């Protein structure tokens, strides 16, 4: 370097290479600025991706009169009914200095998704409750609205609606999904004492279930014990981690967890004066929805996630439960989206195998039925992902968007929500497709 050249200072304000202490000090300041937003209306720590930013934007559109988002400082400026926003928003930690209800749920349950009874059972392909909450807010649903999930699975959409005091209807083809959605409903209204069992009683219950002699006069307790049992057995099949605890130990632990969820949920209900709304759960086939005349033009919104093209064996996953209940799995599977028509697709989709075409035929029909069930002006959010079969990508996301438009929906928005930590190309994330019935 020539003598005339001016030496530039580093970001640390020194000419020489900084010391370890200087580096740590500078990073600590940056860290504090980034991690601890400064302001009275701040992002939740769970806001991590660009999709989260889009979800926040959607929620604010639905809940506020006016807002601006400052993503660098992780703060929001907003105008509107602050109490309502605090009770409903899913992406802010504080609104005008006061903690939001969602933050309280996250802190109390130690998780952004496993609050209330969302974590009752590891049903495959479950929604993130936070996304459901976001969409309910974006669609401006209120106590007078009615929400539909025709692929309700274990009832995430209906449970989240119940927690938010919104009426909903959930339909699913699998008996296991129905048991779980009903349980999530019932547990919100059960007396705490009903969940009290001595160790001895629990051991006897477990034995009765194992001997297929389990009966209980209260259908909620009957179903709850079975669900906890199926979960226990499933955990044993998947890993040897629980061998030391033993089946009885794990069964009791899982039941205590549910009791704890009940206690925490009731504490929050009391603290915020919440009014939960039970959902209506129906065992049925979305492709036969039109047989239920009373459903026509009834719903303000639909938030749903169809089964992904054969990426998940939803029914097989619950084989233990179906074996126990003596359910006919073949019959259930034959009603599954894409399993009708005995291998003869109605339409041809260029380059796609007939089985995918059959699945697309059914998906298209399901979307037409959703259109029929919505009021005009009603909103639809479909959460869907692409799968890969024998190295070939099955473009379900764009096909779904097309089917929505063909059914008469106006397309509004698509947000890609990446699966953080995805390590292979099969499933990298899901998309939320938002449409409106004109």
Ligand X SMILES: C[S@@+](CC[C@H](N)C(=O)[O-])C[C@H]1O[C@@H](n2cnc3c(N)ncnc32)[C@H](O)[C@@H]1O
Q: How far is the CB of 105 from ligand X (least distance, A)?
A: 17
Q: Read off the DSSP letter of residue 53.
A: H
Q: Which of residues 101-140 bind ligand X (CB under 6 A)?
A: 123, 125-127
CB crowding 374-395: b at 16 or more within 10 Å, else e: beeebbbbbbbbbbeeeeeebb
Interface of this chain with ligand X, residues 141 to 170, rule: CB under 6 A? 150-151, 153-154, 156
- Quote the CA–CA distance of 41 and 74 in Å, as a whole number: 9
- The stretch among 135-143, 187-195, 240-248, 282-290 that binds ligand X (CB under 6 A) is 282-290
> 92-95 and 42-43 as β-strands: parallel, antiparallel, unpaired?
antiparallel
Site string for ligand X, 32-51 (x = CB under 6 A): --------------------
Q: Confirm or reject binding of residue 177 to ligand X (CB under 6 A).
A: yes
Binding mask of the shown chain, residues 229 to 248, with x at each position contacting ligand X by CB under 6 A: --------------------
Number of residues that bind ligand X (CB under 6 A): 24
The verdict on 307 binding ligand X (CB under 6 A) reads yes
- Give whichever of 172 and 186 is closer to ligand X, judged by the CB atom: 172
Residue nearest to ligand X (CB): 153
d(CA 16, CA 246): 62
Residue number, 37 or 177, with CB nearest to ligand X: 177
Nearer CB in complex with ligand X: 115/314:
314
SS3 209: helix
The distance of closest approach from Cβ of residue 9 to ligand X in the complex, given in angstroms and rounded to an integer, is: 54
Binding segment toward ligand X, per CB under 6 A, in 329-337, 373-381, 407-415, 422-430: 329-337
Helices in 80-128 by DSSP H: which ranges? 82-88, 101-109
CB-based contact 78:67 (threshold 8 Å): yes
- As a residue count, the chain comes to 438
Q: Does 335 bind ligand X (CB under 6 A)?
A: yes
Q: Which two tokens stand for residue 233?
A: 């057995």
Asked whether the beta carbons of 417 and 429 are under 8 A apart, the reply is yes
Of 13-21, 173-181, 219-227, 370-378, the window that binds ligand X (rule: CB under 6 A) is 173-181
336 binds ligand X per the rule CB under 6 A: yes
CA angle 146, 149, 154 (to 5 degrees): 125
Torsion angle (degrees, nearest 10) of CA 86, 87, 93, 95: 0
The strand pairing partners of 169, in sequence order, are 148, 280
User: Which token pair is 371?
Assistant: 């259109």
- Euclidean distance between CA atoms 173 and 317, whole angstroms: 15
Residue 69, H or E segment:
strand 66-70
Nearer to ligand X, 82 or 283 (CB): 283
Other Cβ atoms within 10 Å of 39 Cβ, number = 15
Q: How far apart are the first and last CA of the chain?
A: 69
CB 90, min distance to ligand X, A: 16
Q: How many CA atoms lie within 13 A of 283 on its CB side?
A: 9
What is the Cα–Cα distance from 197 to 375, expressed in whole angstroms? 46
> Residue 171 interacts with ligand X (CB under 6 A)?
yes
Segment lying near ligand X (by CB under 6 A), choices 47-55, 188-196, 332-340, 415-423:
332-340
CB of 307 to ligand X, least distance (A): 4
Work out which of 120, 148, 279, 286 binds ligand X, going by CB under 6 A: 286
Q: Is 337 an interacting residue with respect to ligand X (CB under 6 A)?
A: yes
SS3 409: strand
Q: Which is nearer to ligand X, 158 or 232 (CB)?
A: 158
Does position 322 interact with ligand X (CB under 6 A)? The reply is no
How many whole angstroms separate alpha carbon 249 and alpha carbon 2? Answer: 76
Judged by beta carbon, residue 95 or residue 404, the one nearer ligand X is: 404
Q: Contact with ligand X (CB under 6 A): which of 229, 230, 314, 371?
A: 314
Cβ proximity to ligand X: between 37 and 125 the closer is 125
3-state secondary structure (DSSP) of residue 314 = helix
CB under 6 A: which stretch of 84-92, 300-308, 345-353, 399-407 binds ligand X? 300-308
Q: Nearest-5° angle of CA 281, CA 228, CA 156?
A: 35
- Which CB atom, from 37 or from 153, has the smaller least distance to ligand X? 153
- Kindly state whether residue 174 participates in binding ligand X, applying the rule CB under 6 A: yes
- By CB under 6 A, name the binding residues for ligand X: 123, 125-127, 150-151, 153-154, 156, 171-174, 177, 285-287, 305-307, 314, 335-337
């Amino acid at each position: 370097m020539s003598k005339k050249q001016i030496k530039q200072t580093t970001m640390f304000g020194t000419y020489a290479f900084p010391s370890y202490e200087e580096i740590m000090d500078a990073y600590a300041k940056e860290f504090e600025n980034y991690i601890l937003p400064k302001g009275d209306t701040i992002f939740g720590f769970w806001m991590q991706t660009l999709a989260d930013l889009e979800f926040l934007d959607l929620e604010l559109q639905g809940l506020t009169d006016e807002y601006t988002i400052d993503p660098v400082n992780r703060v929001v400026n907003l105008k509107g009914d602050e109490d309502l926003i605090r009770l409903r928003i899913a992406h802010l930690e504080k609104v005008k200095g006061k903690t939001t209800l969602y933050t309280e749920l996250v802190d109390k349950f130690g998780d952004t998704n496993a609050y209330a009874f969302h974590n009752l059972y590891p049903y495959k392909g479950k929604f993130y409750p936070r996304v459901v909450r976001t969409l309910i807010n974006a669609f401006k649903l209120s106590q007078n609205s009615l929400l539909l999930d025709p692929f309700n699975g274990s009832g995430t959409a209906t449970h989240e609606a119940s927690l938010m005091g919104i009426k909903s209807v959930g339909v699913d083809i699998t008996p296991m999904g129905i048991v779980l959605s009903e349980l999530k409903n019932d547990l919100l209204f059960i007396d705490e004492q009903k969940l009290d069992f001595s160790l001895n009683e629990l051991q006897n219950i477990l034995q009765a279930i194992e001997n297929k002699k389990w009966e209980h006069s209260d259908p909620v307790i009957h179903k709850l014990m079975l669900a906890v049992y199926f979960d226990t057995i499933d955990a044993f099949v998947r890993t040897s981690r629980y061998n030391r605890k033993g089946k009885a130990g794990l069964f009791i632990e899982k039941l205590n967890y549910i009791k704890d969820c009940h206690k925490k949920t009731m504490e929050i209900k009391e603290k915020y004066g919440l009014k939960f709304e039970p959902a209506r759960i129906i065992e049925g086939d979305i492709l036969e929805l039109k047989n239920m005349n009373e459903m026509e033009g009834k719903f303000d919104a639909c938030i749903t996630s169809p089964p992904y093209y054969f990426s998940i064996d939803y029914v097989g996953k619950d084989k233990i439960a179906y074996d126990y209940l003596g359910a006919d799995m073949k019959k259930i599977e034959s009603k599954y989206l894409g399993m009708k028509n005995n291998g003869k697709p109605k339409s041809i989709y260029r380059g796609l195998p007939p089985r995918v075409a059959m699945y697309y035929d059914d998906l298209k029909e399901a979307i037409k039925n959703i259109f029929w069930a919505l009021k005009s002006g009603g909103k639809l959010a479909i959460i869907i992902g692409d799968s890969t079969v024998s190295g070939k990508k099955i473009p379900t996301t764009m096909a779904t968007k097309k089917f929505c438009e063909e059914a008469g929906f106006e397309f509004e928005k698509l947000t890609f929500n990446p699966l953080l930590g995805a390590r292979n190309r099969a499933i990298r994330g899901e998309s939320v497709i938002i449409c409106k019935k004109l």
